[in-house]
Amino acid sequence: MQKVFAGVTLITSFYAACEPMPDDFMDMNQVLPEAIYDIRYYTDNNFVGMPVEGYLAPKCILQRQAGQALQNVAARVAEQGMKLKIFDCYRPQRSVAHFMRWAQDLSDTRTKEDYFPNLPKTKLVGEYIAERSGHSRGATVDLTLVRQNSQGDWEELDMASPFDMFDPLSNTANPTISSEQAANRQLLKGFMESEGFDNYSMEWWHYSLVPQPYTDTYFDFPVK
């Protein structure tokens, strides 16, 4: 079913679990197997504290233009001996609705210490959590860089705050972080901007392709 609100199209269905992925979306786990995938919302290791509705598999799905651009980023990153670590890509609208239900339940603060230690839960809706997310348009990705350590293990570059930490510390240009941490954020930013991605200044990990292939359509097919 297609719903339109104030010029915004939401692609939803009473049978959404069976809704197919559009032809111009791609499974990045297949086309970019060298990346590391840590799809948090498929697990309980996220700010909601449980698997998020709509994530039926730990996959990164992107609209084709964004996916091809991310492949180019990965090639540039590999030239520097690093890899991409991906936390989230396309996000169904039902997942966003799950976030909103969680945000409105002020009694649930189980994940506060890890994800919003310095903010009251009432401050999360707006700058961090909203009724619609650019992720649902299929051209936004949350990610970081990893490099091999002396033992050969791939570890994340120090970005000063972890993925999905709702805090001013996660603002990309936060002035209080170390010079090394700032340089790591700028390194990721440079790689992403080189292929047409733009950073959301509140979150160092959040990048969207510009221009967006879908400007006002928010999809709801499940990640599977």
| 142 has binding-site annotation | yes
203 catalytic residue (yes or no): yes
The two three-digit tokens of residue 203, written as one number = 């979150």
* Closest residue by Cα to residue 137 from 40, 47, 65: 65
Cβ proximity of 185 and 178 under 8 Å = no
27 is in an annotated binding site: no
Token reading at 50: 């449980």
Cβ atoms < 10 Å from Cβ of 4: 10
Pairing of strands 25-27, 61-63: antiparallel
Residue 51: DSSP 8-state: P
Beta strands in 53-128 (DSSP E): 61-63, 82-88
Q: How does 151-187 read in b/e, with b if 16+ C-beta sit within 10 Å?
A: eeeeeebebbbebbbbbebbbbebeebeeebbebbeb
- Is 98 marked as binding a ligand? no
> Which of 19, 53, 155, 203 is flagged as catalytic?
203
∠ CA 103-104-108 to the nearest 5 degrees? 70
State the binding site: 135, 142, 206
Catalytic residues: 203
State the binding site for Zn(2+): 135, 142, 206
